Structure 1
């Protein structure tokens, strides 16, 4: 069966990279007031940071339904019989369901995988799926391996700007006010256990303590130096570097890449957010972020 592999911009990777690797990518949308932008097409990550610095409240949404329809109709016309999709997770977006609906309308067999997060994990899953299919593996074998990878993953967020989350509707005004008064640092995460939805993992009083709790969490879930580990940040490179060094030292010199947090998440967390994403890549090296990596810490 001739299958097209499809993702979206939730990985934070450029459309050019996906084109070079034979994977179709659709842009998520960001909006500010009456303006709507296509991620990586009509708005860049630098633009998002600039708007956050101007206290703009950005909202995000799935790729335009018409864009999905047009792509799948084109794929059908080009002789594709099916679509294998790994977009941003269902807990954060309706993209996967929309893709399935459009595939059905176009008469394409649809295989969708929910990675229960986004960013590096999402990119790794779609690349791994395509590589395995081209090597002759069955769809069932591919899905089983991706599920194993997803089960090993966790994405943990440390947000420093509760007021931004309040403005974006992510916190009640009372919770934001109390958080600011008491200097509470919420530790948030999403994974297969949270069904891809952002949930509260813990609450502490200082960023240093929050980072220590994250390291305890990584050890608890069995993260080793062999895992793929990424620290991402929202305009906080120096803080991200220090955080990555701290994690690397605690995990036996683990190699950690540092990247910008993807725009679809940054828009909600606000400036200063630090995130760590880990998963067991199943002995498959992850090099997809080489061009975007700002720094690598560890051995």
Structure 2
């Protein structure tokens, strides 16, 4: 059986220590602001803490998907090792990253007709995508085949639940996730919406609550109601430089549930641009996603 590598992109928001330990190659999105361009490379080029501090000070970043050349070079380095590639990709409903990867894939196939590159759109982002990468790595280490891992992800990706709350609605407005009128009204009324990534891989608001503590409590209620087989699950929390609230969310969950482990990491620039400082997100496997209000 031909060897293969699990590949991803920087929207996965996995800790760089894990990426380096598992030797995972990934494509880098870019983030530009204040006349500078940075690679979103999981905190190496631009530290998340500095990024969110810059946003607090008024910087307005723009993010871009990786170029086809970025993908081509990364793909080629794997193909040259005579390995197939399984790319676990950020949702096409959130980024055009898959388009660049597809262009690069065809470039590689033209040059290496026997190469095998499979792109799997997991219809989520941040640590929801990251948990899928971790599961794929675990399966590979336990002897699962290329096809078995793809089948698992395609079968289970609608069970990856992703929920987020934000502290500053202006970033959602800039990213087109919220109308200007709704943002202004929400700020005046101290509304902290709960958002999800729906079955089409797009962000949608589902609940409006007042106050930060209430929004964190609501995230706990959601996971308690929707998680499946918690004792055998690693769940994940990402945050926009609000570690105390991430820890409070973890504590609230552990009071209600016994889980295998909890990963906490910064939200990276590609996702954090839209959530802003104080964004707080929760990812776990549970009931299939719903496109309506819960």
Q: TM-score, normalised by structure 1?
A: 0.81
- Give structure 2 stretches of 5+ with no counterpart: 110-114, 287-294
User: Cα distance, 1:159 vs. partner?
Assistant: 0.7
User: Cα distance, 1:152 vs. partner?
Assistant: 2.4
Matches within 5 A, 1:187-226: 187-191=194-198, 193=199, 195-223=200-228, 224-226=230-232
User: Cα distance, 1:148 vs. partner?
Assistant: 4.1
Partner of 2:289: none
Change (3 A) 1:211 1:129: closer
Deviations along 1:5-33, whole A, 9 cap, x unmatched?
Answer: 32112222466753542421121111115
Matches within 5 A, 1:221-240: 221-223=226-228, 224-240=230-246
Deviations along 1:205-259, whole A, 9 cap, x unmatched?
Answer: 2333323332332233234343322222212122222222112212257753332
Matches within 5 A, 1:19-58: 19-32=20-33, 34-40=35-41, 41-58=44-61
User: Cα distance, 1:3 vs. partner?
Assistant: 3.0
Partner of 1:67: 70
- Give structure 1 stretches of 5+ with no counterpart: 281-299
Structure with more relative contact order (C-alpha pairs < 8 Å, separation 6 or more): 2
Does the 8 Å CA contact 2:13/2:265 hold for their aligned counterparts? no
Q: Does 1:140 align with 2:147?
A: yes
1:116 partner SS: coil
Q: Alignment length, in residue pairs?
A: 277
Does the 8 Å CA contact 2:12/2:130 hold for their aligned counterparts? yes
Change (3 A) 1:29 1:131: same
Single out whichever of 14-23 and 270-279 deviates more from structure 2.
14-23
Change (3 A) 1:218 1:133: closer
- 2:284 and 2:61 mapped to 1: Cα distance? 27
2:118 partner SS: strand
Deviations along 1:99-119, whole A, 9 cap, x unmatched?
Answer: 122112111322111222223
Matches within 5 A, 1:74-153: 74-76=77-79, 78-80=80-82, 82-107=84-109, 108-133=115-140, 136-153=143-160
Does the 8 Å CA contact 1:57/1:168 hold for their aligned counterparts? no
Does the 8 Å CA contact 1:233/1:275 hold for their aligned counterparts? yes
- 2:256 and 2:139 mapped to 1: Cα distance? 34
Does the 8 Å CA contact 2:49/2:241 hold for their aligned counterparts? no
Change (3 A) 1:213 1:123: closer
- 1:6 and 1:110 mapped to 2: Cα distance? 10
- 4+ long deviations beyond 6 Å: none
User: Cα distance, 1:187 vs. partner?
Assistant: 0.6
RMSD of aligned residue pairs (Cα, Å): 2.6
Single out whichever of 95-104 and 11-20 deviates more from structure 2.
11-20
Deviations along 1:107-149, whole A, 9 cap, x unmatched?
Answer: 1322111222223332343344355456553433212222344
- 1:242 and 1:15 mapped to 2: Cα distance? 23
